Structure 1
Amino acid sequence: MNRTVALRFAACGLMGIGAALLIAALLLSTYTKGKISKIPLDIDTTLVGEGTGTAFDPASLVATKFVVDRDVPLVMQQEISVEAPANADVVTLQVGDTLRRTDKQQDNGLMLAMVDTVTLDRKTALAVSSDTNPGGAVQKPRSIEDESPPTNVALPHEGLSYRFPFDTEKKTYPFFDPIAQKAYDANYEGEEDVNGLNTYRFTQNVGYDGDDKLVDPVKYASLYDNDEDSQVTARAELWGLPADDPADPITMDRFYAAQRTFWVDPVSGTIVKKEEHGYHYYARDPLKPEVTFVDYNLTSDEETVESQVASARAEGDTVGLWGRILPITFTALGLLALVGGALLGAFTLRAESALIDPGLDDSDHGFFGRRSAEDSGPMPAAEAKTEKLPTQRPSDLPPDRPV
């Protein structure tokens, strides 16, 4: 194999590599990115929010009057894990929520408790359901003495739950509230830096309007068979209400409203920080609260924010590597390989032409550096063309000339 043939193969090889790199870049930026931009299947985390509020004292249930304490320390804990079904298309999150008074011990400080389960589409983060899976459920409360296995009550979810989709947009999303058992709008409000991470801020109102006014509270949906925590009948003196007879029974319903702010990583959809104002109260008129059960303002603690930011960065780095960095790198290398192959191919063709027909390598081509006919100035002697004169044979000499 001569040198020109080898160069021709090298040129073809470079162009083939370039084309392959460009195809790989296209696949990485479209198909592969879509495959990895999904909710992880290994979520196992605990999120904590801390703050203060007004809260009912459970010990006062056996007293002569219900007691509501102000400025009590409160903490909300949210444990998130993955349950079946969880596969390439969907993931099921089981979330245990508790709200406690930290100034009380054990069950005396427990204000709220719920176990919520929801199945989400791993790409859109929207709740999904099927004939065998209603898309969500809540666990019925059990007493400490109850040793029977937990029972779930089907609760179809709508919209988003516990996170936003990959490539979160600056728009309004429906976000499910498991206490209200309904999805409410989470509205985009702007961008904000959280621990060095650029986030989108969303706000949600449940029962409140944009001016923080109570307008449409939700009647609390009890998970007990006898609705014992959603409707309470007690003597007027227990409620602390004036009455002709302190023993007159008064029935009140429990209502709920909330306001939330989410800080969301737009790449992965991870909620890195949350502020929540929740209000549970008893009243005879929904818009006229009479006895507060709990009214709290909580913010994600620093450890939770740091953990969520790190998780968001890790998911974002994976997407960025396969969806942006590698495609750009492969595109650049592919273009360089194509250009290099084309130039090498052109050089090989010119070289082959010169070897096949040396006459092509004259002043018309200038491939090997010969001067063209248009060049001005005298030609150096080394490059000047010479004319050969015929050599005379002896027989051609005149007869009178000696040999």
Structure 2
Amino acid sequence: MRKLLGWVLVGVGAFLLVVGLLATTWAPDQTQKTPLDVNSQTYLTGTAQKINPDTGELDDLDVKILSDTKVDSERSTDDVALFVNTTCVTEDAPDTPDCIGDKNDPRLINNSVDVFATDRVTALAVNDQRFEERGATTHEGLVNKWPFDTQRKTYPYWDGMLNRAVDVTFEGVERIDGLETYKFREVVDEEPAEVATDIDGLYSQDKTIWVEPKTGSIIKQQQSETRTTEDGETLFQIDAVFTDETIAKNVADAKDNVGSLNLLGSTVPLIGFIGGPILLIVGLILALGGRRRGTRVASKREPARV
């Protein structure tokens, strides 16, 4: 019985060692990748000023923003995720839907679609003819998330108004609902840009982004954007921030994902590399020790003499 138990422990110990080895070598490459089933909706709320073409005056508006982001799994690969992002900015009025398809609807401020490809590990934009043929447009830097194991440093971050990446600087560490985040900031000051269709002007942006560093997911974002004519006349201005509901959901999702990564990256290897050898040693002692005792007992038995 002890011999059988010993070999069982040897098998379990060897299994734990293999699991620990896989958790430190193979698992990170599989788990620290952007999943191909992303389908998320991010909501922002705020205020805006928009030029009224009929009066030439600025209208003060309450606004809401929906950012719908999905991975097109059929057009993605093992290394690159192809995203389709739809952004709708509408007047926050009673009975106004989150997204309006009719461009003539006066409640609609902006409705745009952006298709881009990013590396599933580094989160950096990928510009390749294969993905351009699948609908992606040229992007630079980070687009919609930070890399796994985000560092406290400056990153290049895509700005769609400028059609290029700009620097986002690390501003410090903050906790949001108990979750540690890294705070990054983008500042653009009166850069030349196409501020409206066929209208050149000046564009300014002050955007702060809170990122969960283990997963690189964006937890919170607030921004202040201004578009003016080249003479400085304001055409559009908006201040917006993630809704409380969106922030709460992002925090909950991040905590779950961090827990899963920590389980695979720390807890499982610890159990495997500590528990595995212990069970191996105990199992070998029981299995081989029992065999030696059995051999000694048998050797003492002498055949009966007649």
Separation (CA, whole Å) in 1 of partners of 2:133 and 2:46: 32
Give per-residue Cα distances to partners, 1:256-282, cap 9 Å, x unaligned.
221111111112211111011111111
Q: CA deviation at 1:195?
A: 2.0
Relative distance call for 1:277 and 1:189 in structure 2 (3 A) is same
Q: Secondary structure at the match of 1:29?
A: helix
Q: CA deviation at 1:135?
A: 9.0
Q: CA deviation at 1:298?
A: 0.9
Separation (CA, whole Å) in 1 of partners of 2:278 and 2:116: 49
Relative distance call for 1:136 and 1:177 in structure 2 (3 A) is farther
- The structure 2 residue matched to 1:300, chosen from 236, 242, 249, is 242
- The structure 1 residue matched to 2:124, chosen from 126, 129, 135, is 126
Aligned equivalent of 1:186: 168
Q: Secondary structure at the match of 2:280?
A: helix
Matched ranges for 1:2-41 at <5 A: 7=3, 11=6, 14-41=9-36
* TM-score computed with the length of structure 1 as normaliser: 0.65
Give per-residue Cα distances to partners, 1:318-369, cap 9 Å, x unaligned.
32332222222222320221231354367447636854787xxxxxxxxxxx
Counting matched residue pairs gives 291
Q: Is the 8 A contact 1:230 1:254 kept in 2?
A: no
Relative distance call for 1:340 and 1:186 in structure 2 (3 A) is same
Aligned equivalent of 1:74: 63
1:220 aligns with 2:220: no
Relative distance call for 1:317 and 1:333 in structure 2 (3 A) is same
Over the aligned positions, Cα root-mean-square deviation in angstroms equals 2.8
Aligned equivalent of 1:173: 155
Aligned equivalent of 1:94: 84
Q: CA deviation at 1:200?
A: 1.3
Q: Secondary structure at the match of 2:111?
A: strand
Separation (CA, whole Å) in 2 of partners of 1:270 and 1:258: 21
Aligned equivalent of 1:201: 183
Q: CA deviation at 1:308?
A: 1.7
Relative distance call for 1:343 and 1:115 in structure 2 (3 A) is same
Give per-residue Cα distances to partners, 1:146-175, cap 9 Å, x unaligned.
xxxxxxxx7311111111122222222211
Q: CA deviation at 1:98?
A: 2.5
Greater strand content: 2
Q: Is the 8 A contact 2:79 2:120 kept in 1?
A: yes
Separation (CA, whole Å) in 2 of partners of 1:332 and 1:303: 42
Q: Is the 8 A contact 1:135 1:156 kept in 2?
A: no
The residue type paired with residue 238 of structure 2 is Y
1:45 aligns with 2:31: no
| Percent sequence identity over aligned pairs | 26
* Runs of at least 5 residues in structure 1 that lack an aligned partner in the other structure: 138-153, 209-213, 223-228, 232-252, 359-403
Relative distance call for 1:218 and 1:312 in structure 2 (3 A) is farther
Separation (CA, whole Å) in 1 of partners of 2:295 and 2:134: 75
Larger radius of gyration: 1
Aligned equivalent of 1:141: none
Aligned equivalent of 1:235: none
Q: Secondary structure at the match of 1:166?
A: coil
* TM-score computed with the length of structure 2 as normaliser: 0.83
Q: CA deviation at 1:99?
A: 2.4
Higher relative contact order (CA 8 A, sep 6+): 2
- The structure 2 residue matched to 1:336, chosen from 233, 253, 278, is 278
* Runs of at least 5 residues in structure 2 that lack an aligned partner in the other structure: 301-306
